[in-house]
Amino acid sequence: MNGTPRPAFYARRPRRALIAAGTVALTAAATFLTTAPAAQAAPPTPISAATARTYLSELTVKAEGSSDGYSRDLFPHWITQSGACNTREVVLKRDGTNVVTDSNCAATSGSWYSPYDGATWTASGDVDIDHVVPLSEAWKSGANSWTTTKRQGFANDLTRPQLIAVTDNVNQSKGDQDPASWMPSRTAYTCTYLRMWVQVKHYYALTVDSAEKSAIQSGLSGC
């Protein structure tokens, strides 16, 4: 997630569904589909549940810090990755199916399955790139002491499972919450999400608060 939730004027516009004679008409605009594509790209495969449990035990437990001084601008994104493509565009291409881009690397068609809620979209504007460990959460967990260069690397990390294309209003509802207060509604993704979260926090030596650790331990126990 990109830090704190967007203001109210960014609220999701209503989902579009064209229904005629009981038949749902799919359009080239943002269209909600009910099934996942047969083949779907994804972020880097996270660590196993067993490794996640080990990594979690190694994280420093500390009360969450203050958001004083936090700004998204302190985590520069989206940066250019190659040619005309920035990080968002790279993730859209990676996580989508049959994605076509123009000369500026903007996605002009394709479909994106959101593993958080099980929705599929056919317009890139209906998709956000979530920071699995939100920028604000990272700030309160130790990133406030990082250099801007390190924060930029964190905000654009394509190597760890830190970035994922998801339904935009789901990303906005998550805000900067940790697993103690927010989890994907699609429970089939619980284990994957927690493995991703722990791997990122461990790699960057970020702290966890006690409620966050308890929620992760509980979730991982079923993996």
Ramachandran class of 192: left when φ > 0, alpha when ψ lies in -120 to 50, beta otherwise: alpha
Question: Using H for helix, E for strand and C for coil, what is the string for 141-194?
Answer: CCHHHCCHHHHHHHHCCCCCCCEEEEEHHHHHHHCCCCCCCCCCCCHHHHHHHH
| Secondary structure class of 123 (helix, strand, coil) | coil
**61 DSSP assignment:** B
Residue 2 has pLDDT above 50, yes or no: no
Instruction: Name the E strands within 21-71.
Output: 23-25
Burial of 10 (0-12, 13-18, 19+ CB in 10 A): exposed
Report the pLDDT value the prediction gives residue 42, as an integer from 0 to 100. 81
Q: What is the mean pLDDT of residues 109-120?
A: 97
Report the pLDDT value the prediction gives residue 39, as an integer from 0 to 100. 41
Residue 7 has pLDDT above 60, yes or no: no
Q: Which residues, other chains included, contact 58 with Cβ-Cβ below 8 Å and sequence gap of 6+?
A: 202
d(CA 189, CA 204): 23
Report the pLDDT value the prediction gives residue 26, as an integer from 0 to 100. 33
Model pLDDT for residues 51-106, shown as the tens digit of each residue: 999 999 999 999 999 999 999 999 999 999 999 999 999 999 999 999 999 999 99
Q: Are 194 and 52 in contact (CB under 8 A)?
A: yes
Amino acid code (one letter) for 222: G
Report the pLDDT value the prediction gives residue 40, as an integer from 0 to 100. 52
d(CA 140, CA 177): 11
Model pLDDT for residues 117-130, shown as the tens digit of each residue: 999 999 999 999 99
H helices, E strands: number in the chain? 7, 9
Residue 113 has pLDDT above 70, yes or no: yes
Model pLDDT for residues 147-191, shown as the tens digit of each residue: 999 999 999 999 999 999 999 999 999 999 999 999 999 999 999
Residue 114 has pLDDT above 80, yes or no: yes
Burial of 136 (0-12, 13-18, 19+ CB in 10 A): buried
d(CA 74, CA 138): 12
Model pLDDT for residues 31-66, shown as the tens digit of each residue: 333 334 444 558 999 999 999 999 999 999 999 999
Give the global pTM. Answer: 0.83
Residue with more model confidence, 13 or 94: 94
Amino acid code (one letter) for 203: Y
